[in-house]
Amino acid sequence: MTRARQRGLAVVAALGGAVLLAYAVRRAGVDEIVESMRRLGWGVLAILALAGARLFLRACAWRLCTPAHARLPIGRAFSAFVAGDAVGNLTPLGMAASEPTKAFLVRHRLATNESIASLAIDNLVYAASIATMMVVGVVVALATVPLPVEGRDVLIAALVALVIGAVVMMRLLRGTWSPEGGQRPAWREALSRVRQSVMAFWAASPARVVQAFAFDMAFHVLAVYEIFLTLGWLFGQRPTVAQALVFEVVNRAIIVAFKFIPFRVGVDEALNGALASVMGLPPAAGVTLALVRKARNLAWTGVGLLLIAGAPARVAPGPDPRGSAPAHRT
């Protein structure tokens, strides 16, 4: 896709999102949303702190996916992760923009091939944690949320699709290309390199992979806790843990499906408002929750942009202790 088409798609998506946002806010009621925001008060600081803690956990998981000999300070990993996440939020490129940003910002500590491999491993571990979280969420929703028959069918189909997708991914990572098939396509060659990096890292450091997965699961647990607190503050009554879990699972699916829309403007609000109605909550609950999360994302995106602006433009290369590519030091 050409850059002109990418810009055109971004403009169309933004306009469509703005229309969806206006519809969702009008349907939920402006007065109800404003009153809910007023009740939130200083709770917004706790929400921002929880978001920072979640980003810190993701940075810890990524750091564990770097080679054991690498010296990547947690502070540098955290700042690079926040900056990369900011770029991914601002552009329709998503991971295609965020991951190179992270690799660039840690170039002083990691050789390029090491940072790329570590990010590939981190994203696979994170994908496994998302799949686990979504399976748990779907099962909880089926067991606790009174849904119409059509809704239950959709959730069951989603659960089956998740299991099939996990099996296919495992099969691809094991390698399926036969030498008799001739030269592999470029995408298969890239997948093979990722597979080799993952398998080599797993063979050398299985405990680090397990720890990274644990950090990612803690990231999801904090997300559920954040929703639990936010809904309680917004409406003066505590939701159930199951409701908070279902909201987080749906939000995670929205992030994956609509990453090409910057900040998922309108999509979050419309779908969360519809979900609130399904779970017996007022639509304003879902819309306001989405708006609060969006404000939180904007705040941390601003922090990420400041970190990018403050990153050193040039550094003097030093000798790599392993004798490979230059290892830059600040």
Structural domain spans, the chain? 41-177+184-313
277 and 283 Cβ atoms separated by less than 8 Å: yes
SS3 track for 90-136? HCCCCHHHHHHHHHHHCCCCCCHHHHHHHHHHHHHHHHHHHHHHHHH
Bridge partners (DSSP) of residue 327 are 318
Q: What is the pLDDT of residue 84?
A: 92
- With CA atoms as reference, report the closest residue to 288 among 239, 217, 222, 220: 239
Neighbour tally for 109: CB within 10 Å: 20
Q: What is the mean pLDDT of residues 75-86?
A: 93
317 pLDDT tier (thresholds 50, 70, 90): very low
Q: 156-204 pLDDT, tens per residue?
A: 877 787 778 777 777 666 655 556 656 666 666 666 677 777 778 888 8
Q: What mean pLDDT value characterizes the chain?
A: 80
Report phi then psi at 312, rounded to 5. Answer: -65, 135
Does the pLDDT at position 103 exceed 60? yes
| Matching residue, tokens 């680090």 | 208
